[in-house]
């Protein structure tokens, strides 16, 4: 989704693609596990969209609860794909001040954070202005209100909105395919299905820290150039965490992702 191509048209109105231009970027993740299926080796790549300017990462204050580890995984996917991540904390009308800490944390790191509510309209105008004139992929977990948010931003989309499961407190899928839509002059949105499993694709353990923006200030000061920032002596990242220069929550997210990166398996 999002490739630029040259098409040769026929007299009968049909056509064929005869050249695909080089992508400036591409968002991908590890393909979801198939329930009940046997698995050996590394999971395949699932491409989501290409030639994107911004990734609008939609989270929710509650229903489902705000999940900073899931947010950090999506940020890493954006950073590793050379795409600008923008954070949205939606459904803010359902809480009071509980999300102020997270909004301030990510703002201090250097990310744009929009706090939104489709009920009160908070943050909607500002977000609409931010995405103007760009190709924006909206991505987030099921149930965070992505479709409702897009309907509020662009009522003509009239996207189907799902409900939160009363048992799991998680969202149900409404968008089932990736769709590219032009919503204004030079403004496009890529609507994606809600996700429940988020794993970056193609990232090596030794490269992961480069995609957490605030870590970059300390990476060159580690004693070992192969440092994984987990247990090695003389690690500048660990020192920064202990001195509260890197938040413990972001460091725990890093360790969680580090633990799930699969080494290449040869058969």
**Looking at residue 155, which CATH number applies to its domain?**
3.40.50.300
Q: Residue 18: its pLDDT value, please? A: 80
In a domain, 175, yes or no: yes
Same domain assignment for residues 179 and 50: yes
| pLDDT at residue 56 is higher than 90 | yes
Judge if 121 and 222 occupy the same domain.
no
Residue 209 confidence (pLDDT) above 90: yes
Please check whether residues 187 and 252 belong to one and the same domain.
Answer: no
On the question of pLDDT at 30 being above 90, the answer is no
pLDDT band at residue 33 using 50, 70 and 90 as cut-offs: low
What distance, in Å, lies between the first and last C-alpha atoms of the chain?
32
Q: Please give the structure tokens belonging to residue 6.
A: 């040259």
Residue 162 has pLDDT above 70, yes or no: no
Strand partners, 190: 137, 180
Highest-pLDDT range among 23-27, 42-46, 259-263: 23-27
pLDDT of residue 60: 96
* Whether residue 43 is found in the same domain as residue 164: yes
Query: What is the C-alpha to C-alpha distance for residues 244 and 83, in angstroms, rounded to an integer?
Result: 28
pLDDT classification of 266: cutoffs 50, 70, 90: very low
Q: Which of 191, 216, 239 is the last residue of a domain?
A: 191
Is residue 169 scored above 50 in pLDDT? no
The residue segments making up the domain with residue 255 are: 208-260
Whether omega for the bond prior to residue 52 falls within 30 degrees of 0, making it cis, is no
Nearest to 227 by CA among 258, 252, 200: 258
Assigned domain for 15 exists: no
Say if residue 30 is in the same domain as residue 154.
yes
Determine contact, residues 83/113, Cβ cutoff 8 Å.
no
Give the range among 42-51, 85-94, 185-194, 241-250 with minimum mean pLDDT.
42-51
Phi, psi dihedral angles at 93 (to 5 degrees): -70, -15
Task: Indicate if 225 and 114 belong to the same structural domain.
Answer: no
Q: Are residues 47 and 150 in the same domain?
A: yes
CA R_g for the chain? 20
Decide if 226 is inside a domain. Answer: yes
Judge if 133 and 181 occupy the same domain.
yes
pLDDT in tens, 90-126: 999 999 777 899 999 999 999 999 999 999 999 999 9
pTM: 0.86
Domain's final residue, options 165, 191, 217: 191
Q: Helix 100-109 and helix 248-260: axis angle, to 10°?
A: 80
Share of the chain above pLDDT 90, in %: 64
Q: How many domains does the chain have?
A: 2
> Does residue 243 or residue 5 have the better pLDDT?
243
Number of H helices and E strands in the chain, helices first, is 6, 10
Tokens of 235: 């690690």
Give the residue among 206, 250, 211, 256 at the shortest CA–CA distance from 232. Answer: 206
- What is residue 198's predicted lDDT score, i.e. its pLDDT? 78
Are 31 and 45 spatial neighbours (Cβ–Cβ below 8 Å)? Answer: yes
């Amino acid at each position: 989704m999002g490739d630029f191509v040259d098409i040769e048209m026929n007299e009968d109105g049909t056509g064929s693609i005869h050249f695909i231009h080089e992508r400036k970027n591409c968002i991908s993740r590890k393909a979801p596990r198939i329930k009940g299926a046997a698995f050996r080796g590394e999971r395949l790549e699932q491409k989501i969209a290409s030639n994107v300017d911004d990734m609008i990462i939609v989270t929710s204050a509650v229903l489902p609860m705000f999940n900073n580890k899931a947010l950090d995984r999506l940020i890493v996917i954006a950073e590793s794909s050379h795409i600008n991540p923008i954070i949205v904390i939606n459904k803010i009308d359902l809480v009071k001040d509980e999300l102020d800490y997270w909004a301030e944390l990510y703002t201090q790191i250097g990310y744009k954070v929009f706090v939104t509510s489709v009920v009160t309209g908070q943050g909607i105008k500002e977000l609409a202005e931010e995405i103007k004139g760009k190709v924006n992929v909206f991505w987030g977990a099921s149930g965070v209100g992505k479709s409702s948010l897009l309907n509020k931003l662009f009522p003509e989309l009239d996207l189907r909105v799902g409900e939160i499961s009363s048992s799991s407190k998680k969202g149900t899928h409404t968008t089932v395919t990736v769709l590219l839509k032009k919503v204004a002059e030079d403004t496009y949105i890529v609507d994606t299905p809600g996700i429940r499993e988020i794993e970056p694709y193609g990232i090596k353990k030794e490269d992961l820290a480069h995609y957490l923006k605030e870590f970059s200030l300390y990476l060159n000061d580690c004693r070992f150039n192969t440092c994984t920032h987990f247990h090695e002596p003389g690690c500048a990242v660990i020192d920064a965490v202990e001195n509260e220069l890197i938040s413990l929550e972001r460091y725990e997210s890093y360790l969680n992702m580090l633990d799930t990166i699969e080494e290449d398996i040869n058969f």
